[in-house]
Structure 1
């Protein structure tokens, strides 16, 4: 038995991103691990700790028994507390400890993927202990590791891999989350359409349609007379959707047309990651 074909793209995306992360952090000296990243509240060490923790979760390792400090300003809800546990437990690890654990975790994860024969619909442990399918777990994992590769690249001034396999997974994950933003958070009018025109390394034109019941769906067909159109480059799309920048900070890279109130509401709620 081997990895199910449905899961292979996610395994390939993870492999590409985790190899890039290893290459980025291997030569860092101790002080560089404390460099700030675009991920709120996290240094390079914290991002790598999170990536290690994500893979430990995929491996089914027990979660660390650890008490979080009370003064972590970026931790404001239960989901963030859950995530922060894997990060804070490694906050005082040295550079060699970080790279060694990263390498060892990757070896274990590669072995797991080589032996993975489960069906994509198999239920596995997800965030906060909820059950999700193996396919969803691997898709979200590939997405998260690519996003954190980009966080590290931004912190180190080494851009790249904006069109890698992980980028394509990220495109699909982020687009799937946007109908909720348009329909419920931005209160787009029923029977309306919002167009997203994204250019750059990953290009796409998508229409978010809101039906008469107020439900949103993603379509590839263009819309005539949309209520709003948002045009931006791929990197800006990712940074906005992942909460790495505010709309005001990238206003020079955004073009909006249509209902001003609606475009403003969409951009204020554009971040879809926890």
Structure 2
């Protein structure tokens, strides 16, 4: 739990700093997660960061049924689920006030962190998809959401990526299943994450090397 919690805190704190620097013109920029604007993508991340407080307040399922990689399985991201996700981001964005953007996000992630700290390490939670997951595994998905969508926000804002080393380590481990990256690829963690989440295109030899390495492909909104 502690490395994952540290990664969550580090990445959320860094995003809070970025949000405090934004101006109104930034929020209307398009992103590579169409049809969302920067404002709508921020709203989506904010909502995702805050999910755990409600999940931990609900009764615990008897046992975990899926891990973090399974949570991102393609089968559950049906057209209807995807449409609801997009609409939800837009609805949430309508309530975003730029002046309070950073402070609202800061409150949300810190409330989640406090709830996680107060919960037993073996706690099981139920996700919005109905999956029963160990708390650590679900928090791992939150690191993915904040970190990978942080790359999307950086691209939309024309800024260098701000992915923190602790978050990069957690995301890379999930993407590879703990396997080493094939030496012939010569990828650092940022390149690995960009390539295997579709943020940068894979060449045919790269795809062959990744497939041979047995990495688990994750399915989640662009």
Question: Which runs of no fewer than 5 residues in structure 1 stay unpaired?
Answer: 1-6, 63-74, 179-194, 198-204, 206-228
Q: TM-score, normalised by structure 2?
A: 0.72
Q: Which has the higher contact order (CA 8 A, sep 6+)?
A: 2
Question: Which runs of no fewer than 5 residues in structure 2 stay unpaired?
Answer: 58-76
Greater per-residue strand proportion: 1
The 1:123–1:85 alpha-carbon spacing in structure 2 relative to 1, beyond 3 Å, is farther
Contact 1:243 1:271 in 2 (8 A): no
State how many pairs are aligned: 197
Q: How large is the Cα RMSD of the aligned pairs?
A: 3.3
The 1:41–1:174 alpha-carbon spacing in structure 2 relative to 1, beyond 3 Å, is farther
**SS of equivalent to 1:132:** strand
* Deviation (angstroms), 1:49: 1.0
Greater per-residue helix proportion: 2
The 1:86–1:55 alpha-carbon spacing in structure 2 relative to 1, beyond 3 Å, is farther
The aligned residue for residue 235 of structure 1 is 190
**SS of equivalent to 1:118:** coil
Contact 1:177 1:272 in 2 (8 A): no
Contact 1:153 1:160 in 2 (8 A): yes
Q: Looking at CA atoms only, which structure, 1 or 2, has the larger radius of gyration?
A: 1
Contact 1:17 1:146 in 2 (8 A): yes
The aligned residue for residue 159 of structure 2 is 158
> How far apart, in 1, do the equivalents of 2:196 and 2:34 lie?
14
> How far apart, in 1, do the equivalents of 2:187 and 2:10 lie?
26
Per-residue Cα deviation, 1:223-247 (whole angstroms, up to 9, x for no partner): xxxxxx6554543321221122333
Contact 1:49 1:87 in 2 (8 A): yes
